Amino acid sequence: MGDTETYEKYAKQWFTAVRRKKWEAKDRYTKVLANYENFLLCWLSLVFLMKADSTNVGGERKRIPVFVNNLDSSVVDDIIKCQSKNINELNALKVENMNPQRKYPDGTPITRTSDYTRLANSLNSSPPDNQEILQKTLVLIYVVRCNLFHGDKTWTLQRDKTIMFFASTILKGILSSIFDYKGKQK
């Protein structure tokens, strides 16, 4: 089994774990834990899929455009059609990258367009470019992942729970569409 097949196999296993997981949310803590665990398992599955598709590209954020560009356009269209409401909801939450603002050598701040603003611009373009929307959505979810892994998201704030819910829901939808398409190709 080559690297691509191995990564796709692992991606499918992680995603299958999400589909099989039946949480009985008996308390608030279990509900929150389920939300974060779903996000993590879906993210791992996506990482393996991106790695299968772009083994020579370094870093998760750099793999996103390569991965999206290699997806069949019918899959991309299906993802955007099914997830557009969730994408808009996540974008409306204005997730910020927690990295400190960078400065030029002379100390002048480097102004940059936020990832949610870039996604909003893509969503409002006419006609919308679904590949660009998916790419920018995944970049925004990557920012959520970075904030979670590096300590900017908490278990207790309602806003963070909402962000994790929409990010998880979108990732599950993306993975479902991809695996359904791959299943039909065999």
Number of domains in the chain: 1
**pLDDT tens, per residue, the chain with 186 residues:** 457 677 677 677 766 766 666 555 565 556 666 777 788 888 888 888 888 776 676 777 788 888 888 899 999 999 999 999 998 888 888 877 655 555 656 666 555 556 667 777 777 777 888 988 898 889 888 888 877 776 666 666 787 788 888 998 999 999 889 888 877 776
Contact 90, 167 (CB under 8 A): yes
Kindly report the length of the chain: 186
Give the integer Cα–Cα distance in Å for 130 and 68.
Answer: 10
What are the φ and ψ backbone dihedral angles of 74, each rounded to 5 degrees? -65, -35
Report the 10 Å Cβ neighbour count for 33: 14
Query: For position 1, what pLDDT does the model report?
Result: 45
Residue 177 domain boundaries: 3-185
What predicted TM-score, i.e. pTM, was given to this entire model? 0.79
Euclidean distance between CA atoms 171 and 151, whole angstroms? 21
The CA distance from 16 to 101, in Å, is: 39
